[in-house]
Amino acid sequence: MLAMNYRGPRRVRIDSKPYPEIKHPEDAIIRVTRSCICGSDLHLYNGNVPDTRVGMTFGHEFIGIVDQIGPEVHKIKVGDQVLVPFNIACGKCTFCQQGLYGNCHESNTQASAVGGIFGYSHTAGGYDGGQAEYVRVPYANFGPTVIPPDMDPDDAVLLTDVVPTGYQAAEMGGIQPGDTVVVFGAGPVGIMAARCAWLFGAGRVIVLDKVEYRLEFVRNYAPCEAYNFTEMDDPVVFIKKITDWMGADVCIDAVGAEAAGSALQTITGRKLLIQAGSATALHWAINSVKKGGIVSIVGVYGPTDNLVPIGNVVNKGITIRANQASVKRLLPRLIEHVQNGILNPKAMITHRVPLEDVADAYNIFANKLDNCIKPVLIPSTKS
Amino acid sequence: METIEEKAKDYSHILGWGIDADPKNDPTYPIKLRTDNEQTGHTWDRPEQQPVDIEVLRSIERPTVSAVFGTSTPPSGLSGQIRRFAFRFSESEYGHWLPLLLADRVNVVEGIVDDFRRGRVPNIFAEKGMQADWKYDRNGLIKKVLIGAAITTVAFTLLSRNKRTRKR
């Protein structure tokens, strides 16, 4: 089968790999029909996530058709069209029982903080991902969800990560009706977080980014106020100024480790890798939120140390909430929203690329070429 | 004072405004939907164990191998040795993460050597997706190539001048 193959920072290619094996009685093999490149894949692509081994296949956002099932799989059957949450979760452990499916204790041997994630380095369990023709899916009685027959596959594939992550970012903000919400980052997750902030009753939604076409997109899609932070002397002062010098009620960091905007953070976090990525967006979020406000973090950071203004967190009495999205918990509500036309995820897809051209797709997305918002990889139907 | 219902009218053009609003949105949910089981350790019925038939490095913060695990790329070569060393340290230490980053870089060189060993010359141009640069950012690509060529020329000139000086 064909699969994306990581060769080193900013180098990937398509290669022939063996068809995946059923390794556990609850495994399934899925024939991938759509997979996305996620903004967090770019952290891997750029070599920022430790234990990303040469030869791995990335891809944690994918849908497909069940091709084979293990002897103890009974919730899905061969031929079902399923969407697969990016978290690999057993559904049984203490953390899964709490709905913390991103923190499953039975899917990642190599780290204790995060659960297993498809195609997301060995720090997230060492699973090959869905940027391939076939993928092994553990705990197939729990994760994979049959796609409703009336749902567009392009909507379904974005329900595996981007939509739930954006939604959870807004949910973790504890948004109360009328709140002012600031979203840092107008990538797909930031765009979705801005859109979902309204569903929780936000009174004002503001997005900051540095790329004009993304700002234009989020203005139309969310709809919200969107500003280019490169035109500001200081984004924190700007937010304070437009919130009557109080700060925002809720700030969402939808950027993570590769934030631009601070030379010190860029050098120490992105170039030298001596902290867990550049924490510029997080700094701005903490410093822009009002006293007693809430900072919600869905941007991905590497382990382990960060030059974060923790003193300000204490002094301001901020609540910080952060996690990988627990996709399975949110899916029923989000499927409802998509079916009722309240959310329209597929409108974010700007590029459909054959799987064979994965290297070009990564380059386009990483370097924001051709006004790219969200690329989807389509495996060939021939092989 | 304007009620929430009146405010909602202002956002009537936003489909679904306030549909998930919940004044009781407790900042601790769903982060802490308590079951209290977490106080008592590993109490759940563990799923069947996936056979451990490859080398799986394990965090020292875990007592057991998780019931399923990935089989993507077991540690190998020099990078594998560095990774084994890294897994002697906990996830809260630089001793864990910095060696892993070093191993990743060593692994890149191993990947290139491995390609050659298998008789394959890696096509760096294609792997970097530079066809897309040519299509969508031709000026940027030309600039990068010219800068690269200039740096190489300067470095080459300086090195050969040093050699000549030493010979004299």
Q: Cα dist. A3→A210, B127, B153 in Å?
A: 33, 13, 38
pLDDT at B148 over 60: yes
pLDDT of residue A317: 76
pLDDT at B135 over 80: yes
- Best mutation site among B6, B7, B56, B68 for testing chain A: the one with the most A CBs within 10 Å? B68
pLDDT of residue A272: 83
Q: What is the DSSP letter of A123?
A: G
Do B153 and B141 have their domain in common?
A: yes
Least confident range from A28-32, A80-84, A112-116, A117-121: namely: A112-116
Task: Inspect the interface and report whether the beta carbons of A126 and B31 lie closer than 8 Å.
Answer: no
pLDDT at B1 over 60: no
Any A CB within 8 A of B91 CB:
yes
> Which of B9, B28, B44 is the C-terminal boundary of a domain?
B44
Do B109 and B159 have their domain in common?
A: no
Whether the CB-CB separation of A302 and A43 falls below 8 Å is answered with yes
Least confident range from B17-26, B102-111, B124-133: namely: B17-26
Residue with tokens 């990988």: A324
Least confident range from A178-192, A232-246, A266-280, A360-374: namely: A266-280
pLDDT of residue A126: 96
Tell me the residue type at B15: L
More reliable by pLDDT, A309 or A102? A102
Please tell us whether the domain made up of A2-161+326-378 is placed in CATH 1.20.120.1690: no
Do B118 and B163 have their domain in common?
A: no
Map residue B122 onto helix, strand or coil. coil
Q: Which residues contact B7 (CB under 8 A, 6 or more apart)?
A: A177, A178, A203
Taking CA–CA distances from A27, the nearest residue in chain B reads B68
User: What are residue A325's phi and psi, to 5 degrees?
Assistant: -65, 140
pLDDT of residue B3: 55
Task: Inspect the interface and report whether the beta carbons of A198 and B130 lie closer than 8 Å.
Answer: no
Q: What is the mean pLDDT of residues A104-126?
A: 93
Q: How many distinct structural domains can be found in chain B?
A: 3
Any A CB within 8 A of B128 CB:
yes
Do B61 and B12 have their domain in common?
A: no
Q: Enumerate the domain spans of chain A.
A: 2-161+326-378, 163-322
Q: Can you list the alpha helix ranges (DSSP code H) found in chain B?
A: 4-10, 77-86, 94-117, 124-127, 130-136, 138-167
Q: For residue range A258-292, what is the model confidence (pLDDT) as tens digits?
A: 889 989 888 888 888 778 888 899 999 999 999 98
Which CATH code, of 3.30.420.40, 3.40.50.300, 3.40.1030.10, 3.40.50.720, is assigned to A163-322?
3.40.50.720
Range of the domain at B160: 123-168
β-pairing, A2-8 with A180-184?
unpaired
Q: What is the mean pLDDT of residues B147-159?
A: 89
Residues 264-293 of A with CB under 8 A from B: 273
Of B20, B23, B101, the CB nearest to A199: B20
Q: What is the mean pLDDT of residues A162-169?
A: 96
Whether the CB-CB separation of A142 and A44 falls below 8 Å is answered with no
Taking CA–CA distances from B7, the nearest residue in chain A reads A178
pLDDT at A125 over 70: yes
In chain A, the percentage of residues whose pLDDT exceeds 70 is 98
Q: For residue range B110-124, what is the model confidence (pLDDT) as tens digits?
A: 999 999 999 999 999
β-pairing, A81-84 with A145-146?
antiparallel
CA distance B151 to chain A (A): 20
Do B34 and B62 have their domain in common?
A: no
CA distance A11 to chain B (A): 5
